[in-house]
A and B are shown apart, each in its own frame.
Chain A
Amino acid sequence: MISLRINNKPVQFDGEPDTPLLWALRDHFKLTGTKYGCGIGQCGSCTVHIDGKARRSCMTTVSNTEGKSVVTIEGLAKGDQLHPVQQAWLEQDVPQCGYCQTGLIMTTVEFLQQHPKPSDEDINANVKNLCRCGTYVRVRKAIHRAAELSAQEK
């Protein structure tokens, strides 16, 4: 039995300990906002926060998160109050198919903590998620907008 916190609630996982966190979240905890795109850490669709750090959940087993705190896209907004990054995504109408977007948002949330006023180069160097639909033009705008919104919030 593995104990961890997901979206601020203590939970237990009684499946196979070598299960990647991604599949534990999706199959066991029914948190399907975290997506599978590659399983090898390339696409970033599966990005969640583990103890505040953006991590690819396909690359870590659930047993590695024992005692840790995991935040998924479902835990990002505070009730109806969207996170500033989500708010920026909404304003810029970023998604096309939408499949990569939750991972992109989770990546961006942590990225903006490291780079509160990012340049385009910062974005290029750090946001490595894949979007097959090519929403990158709006992603870039939304990241800059999210930085503004986050600054206003502080």
Chain B
Amino acid sequence: MRIKNHTSSQTPADLSRRRFIIAGSTITGSLLLGIPLVSVAANGAASNESSRIGFFINILENGDVIIGNAQPEIGQGLRTTLPMLVSEELDISWDKVRIESMPLGIVKTADGYTWKYGGQGVGGSTGLTRNWTFQREVGATGRLMLMQAAAQMWNVPLEQCSTKPGMVVCEPAGKQAGYGELVKLASTLPLPETAPALKPMDQYRIVGKPKHNKEVRDIITGKAKFGSDTQMPGMRYAVILRSPVLNGTVAGFDDSAARAVKGVLDVFPVEGPAPGAPYHILAHGVAVVANSTWAAIKGRKALKVEWSQSPNQDDSSEKFWQQNREMLATQGQVVHDQGDFPTALAAAHSVVKHTYEVPFVSHAPLEPQNCYAWVQDDKAHIIAPTQSPSGASRSANAVTGLDRLDIKVEMSRVGGAFGRRLTTDYVAEVCIISKKTGWPIQLVWTRDDDIRNDFYRPGGTHELIAGLDDKGQVTAWSQRLASGSKYYRRPDMKDEDLWKPELYVDDFPRAMVENFRLEYFHNFIGLPRGSWRGPAHVVNAFVIQSFLDEVAHETGQDPLALRLELLGRIEEQPYGNHGGPTMTPGRLSRLLKFVSERIDYSRPRPKGRGVGIAAHFTFGGYAAHAIEVSVDSKGEFTIERIVAAIDCGFAVNPNAVEAQLQGATIDGLSTALELEITVNEGRVVQKNFNNYPLMKIDRVPALFEAHVMNYDDTPTGVGEIGVPPAAPALTNAIFAATGVRIRKLPIADQLREKMTA
């Protein structure tokens, strides 16, 4: 789920290019793609306000600074963390900073569109890394221009000027001035030809220090505006009754009762994609537009729709799992083969083989999908809770035909995303409805809509095989996976590439094991699929980290020692998947040793108590968990203690990293405990939190440590890193306590059933 746009590796010389670009040059889009435009007022493109330096910095007369944030805020705290970078280099007091959310910024080029002020969008845990250099340069450039303004005003050489928080000082001349007094002049200066040098890390006052979220006060007083909180003059509310059967279409409908509901204004069909075609929206349906949310919901209840036959009407989870097993009994697509796996396996002293099932799951952000749009003849205005504002713009363009420059996209706060809001089907839906009615529309999804219409995390059946020599060393390894690929229904997708989002070749332990094979089988089921926080890492970490434990136990080895032995085989490996270019296994070892020590791993525990560990490398970051559980004789288990650790290189905001690690751990556990999407007769069975039960506070132990461990001076992503090891650490702990191995998620009643059988 990497979002391709700007990389922050520009050399200082790029700065002049950026200015050139914003002046409206027509360099090809590929060169432009994502190059952040540190604009200056001189070209007038940013703003006419003389308090602004470029797009991001607005200095008020009293010295308060408003920093723009162009990235979606989905709970990961980027709206605080990125302004920290600007503030550090601009040299201002953090308590003088306020944050302003910026709309989507795109400009037209000869061959398409490009970013106006850098790539926008969050996914693949890249929100920080893509902006790390860029946002510091924004701040440093602003600071330099303020110093230049001061030098000009005082008629002193620039070299004699420096700054302290919020002011420029010239010691030889005995002068100083607040940024608020200088900004007017600074905003008229030309952009420096080269980017100023960035601060050495040991001088950081803000970056690297734990900072609270800038928006907490708004959130806890109810003032923060989420997508569903948008209220505009003349706005109507819409809901859609979508086909309950996957790929069903509307054969006919009777809307007389719906239209009789007080407040219902209009009812009409909305056309979805043809079966198998790429999704612009998820389903066919009938829209109900009303003057209140409740009237729309009531109107929808009163609708009578006849659904057509669907090619997926007999789809079921049961069939899917059965077919997976049948497939695994045959030969699949060998997608990676190194050394000689069959020979090594045949020569192995011992062989371990087990099969695991990981279900489809839903994103279920607490704020269901929704979107505001007003599509007029010549323009559109959209307020979207989204991870991808440019996706929103493209979706709106696709269904309205309006030029993307005439589509204004603003981003609200987002009530959770987890990958769901990388797709912008809800934007397309609301634009269709607004275009049809001419009204400003708030599209409301109920919880049922949200759980039953999702781009689900793919489910799959994994067969793991390991061969070991007589010293207990792993010499051969294979993972065979039958699943529904995330790339199902992607445009222009070739069958032979369907495996790619499900098996990441360079993941542990490929580089450590000489004879290694990956095999894939694609199974068909009509469920839409997408990226779910950490995508296949969460799935594969569960499988691999569970299997490693099984290998250890069955060959009389210690699970920690076995991991450390494998990780210790190489110092660094190339990593071609997202999160590379390299992976350092020793960083996982460090975390594993750390969490094991914290939880006192080697202390023997009484029966019914056990500790499990796991570690995984995800999108450039490293994480490990140690979890202790207690289990009673009936199979009721309690998570007694959690030790989590993350190595994200350098934590820009350790407080936000800790929060993400806590949340990611709970996400991993919550999903493993009870969550599963199933299909019966072509319909998603789960409808709401009563049968898609998220974890509550009662299962989260008071003994919960989240450790943020720096490694070097390069930040990696954070949001997804903490999810993958959590579930296998839990199931490994359950095994340690009971001897019962959980090979199928969710855990649900399995332990109770096995221990009372």
Co-assembled chains A and B? yes
Interface residues in chain A, defined as those with a beta carbon under 8 Å from any beta carbon in chain B: 15-16, 18-20, 23-24, 26-28, 30-40, 42-43, 45, 72-74, 76-77, 82, 86, 89-90, 93-102, 105, 120, 123-125, 127-140
Instruction: Decide if B75 touches A133 in the complex (CB within 8 Å).
Output: yes
A138 to B368, CA, bound (A): 24
Q: Mark B651-694, 1 if CB is under 8 A from A, else 0.
A: 00001000110111111001000000000000000001110001
**Known contacts A95-B219, A97-B415, A99-B415, A38 near B697 by CB under 8 Å:** no
B237 interface contact, C-beta 8 A: yes
B447 in the interface (beta carbon within 8 A): yes
At the interface, yes or no: B184 with Cβ under 8 Å from chain A? Answer: no
When distances are taken between beta carbons in the complex, the residues of chain A under 8 Å from B231 are 30, 32
Report if B711 contacts A (CB, 8 A).
Answer: no
**C-alpha gap A47/B145 in the complex (Å):** 50
- Closest CB of chain B to A128's CB: distance in Å? 6
Among the listed B224, B670, B690, B698, which residue makes an inter-chain contact with A42, where contact means beta carbons less than 8 Å apart?
Answer: B690
- In the assembled complex, 11 residue pairs joining A and B whose CB atoms fall closer than 8 Å, in A order, are A16-B294, A19-B292, A42-B689, A73-B221, A82-B220, A95-B220, A96-B76, A98-B226, A102-B220, A130-B694, A138-B659
CB pair B666–A134 under 8 Å, yes or no, is yes
Interface centre among B221, B263, B292, by most A CB within 10 Å? Answer: B221
Q: Is B215 at the interface (CB under 8 A from chain A)?
A: yes
B702 cross-chain contacts in A, Cβ below 8 A: 120, 140
Could you mark each residue 628-666 of chain B with 1 if its beta carbon is under 8 Å from any beta carbon of chain A, else 0? Answer: 000000000000000000000000000100011011111
Question: Which residue of the partner chain, among A26, A43, A89, contacts B366 with CB atoms under 8 Å?
Answer: A43
Q: Which residues of B contact A (CB under 8 A)?
A: 74-77, 212-213, 215-217, 219-226, 228-229, 231, 237, 262-263, 292-295, 298, 364-368, 413-418, 446-447, 655, 659-660, 662-667, 670, 688-690, 694-698, 700, 702, 704, 706
In angstroms, Cα B365 to Cα A131, docked, is 9
Cβ–Cβ contact A98 & B688, under 8 A: no
Inside 8 A of B666's CB, which chain A residues have their CB?
A: 134, 136-137
CA distance A8 to B216 in the complex (A): 25
Docked complex Cα distance between A101 and B220 (Å):
7
Q: Which residue of A lies closest to B444 (CB)?
A: A36
**Given B77, B216, B292, B704, which contacts A137 in the complex, CB threshold below 8 Å?**
B704
Query: CB-CB < 8 A to A32: which residues of B?
Result: 222, 225-226, 228-229, 231
CB atoms of A74 and B663 under 8 A apart = no
CA distance A123 to B697 in the complex (A): 8
Let me know if A27 and B220 touch, CB within 8 A.
no
Do B221 and A134 touch across chains, with their CB atoms under 8 A apart? no
Given contacts A19-B294, A132-B365, contact A96 B222 (CB under 8 A): no
A93 to B679, CA, bound (A): 39
Query: Which 9 pairs, one residue from A and one from B, show the smallest C-beta to C-beta distance?
Result: A33-B222, A134-B666, A97-B75, A99-B415, A124-B698, A73-B222, A98-B219, A96-B75, A32-B229
Within the assembled complex, what's the spacing in Å between the Cα atoms of A131 and B298? 28
Among A36, A74, A89, the most chain B Cβ lie within 10 Å of the Cβ of A36
Q: What is the CB-to-nearest-CB distance from B260 to chain A, in angstroms, rounded to a whole number?
A: 13
Of A33, A40, A129, which contacts B223 at CB under 8 A?
A: A33
Measured CA separation A28–B237 after assembly (Å):
12
Contact status of A96 and B663, CB under 8 A, knowing A38-B447, A42-B688, A125-B698: yes
B123 to chain A, nearest CB (A): 15
B51 to chain A, nearest CB (A): 27
Chain B residue at minimum C-beta to C-beta distance from A16: B262
Chain B: minimal CB distance from A65 (Å): 15
A16 / chain B contacts, CB cutoff of 8 Å = 262-263, 292, 294-295, 298
Bound-state Cα–Cα, A36 to B662, Å: 24
Known contacts A19-B292, A39-B446: A133-B220 contact under CB 8 Å: no
In the complex, what distance in Å separates the CA atom of A39 from the CA atom of B222?
A: 19
With contacts A73-B222, A138-B659 taken as known, whether A98 is within 8 angstroms of B415 at the C-beta atoms is yes
A133 to B668, CA, bound (A): 11
**Which residues on the A side are within 8 Å of B659 (C-beta)?**
93, 96, 135, 138
| B221, B368, B655, B697: residue with the most chain A Cβ atoms closer than 10 Å | B697
Most buried by A among B223, B365, B688, B689: B689
CA A74 to CA B229, docked complex, whole Å: 14
- Is B229 a contact partner of A132 (Cβ separation < 8 A)? no
Question: Please, which residues of chain A bring their CB within 8 A of the CB of B366?
Answer: 35, 37, 43, 45, 97, 99-100, 130-133
B216 and A140 form a contact (CB under 8 A) = no
Residues from chain A with a CB closer than 8 A to the CB of B77 are: 96
**How many Å from the CB of A7 to the closest CB on chain B?**
11
In the complex the two chains form, what is the Cα distance from A32 to B223 in whole Å?
Answer: 8
**Residues in A whose Cβ lies below 8 Å from that of B216:** 89-90, 93-95, 98
The answer to whether A134 touches B689, judged by C-beta atoms less than 8 angstroms apart, is no
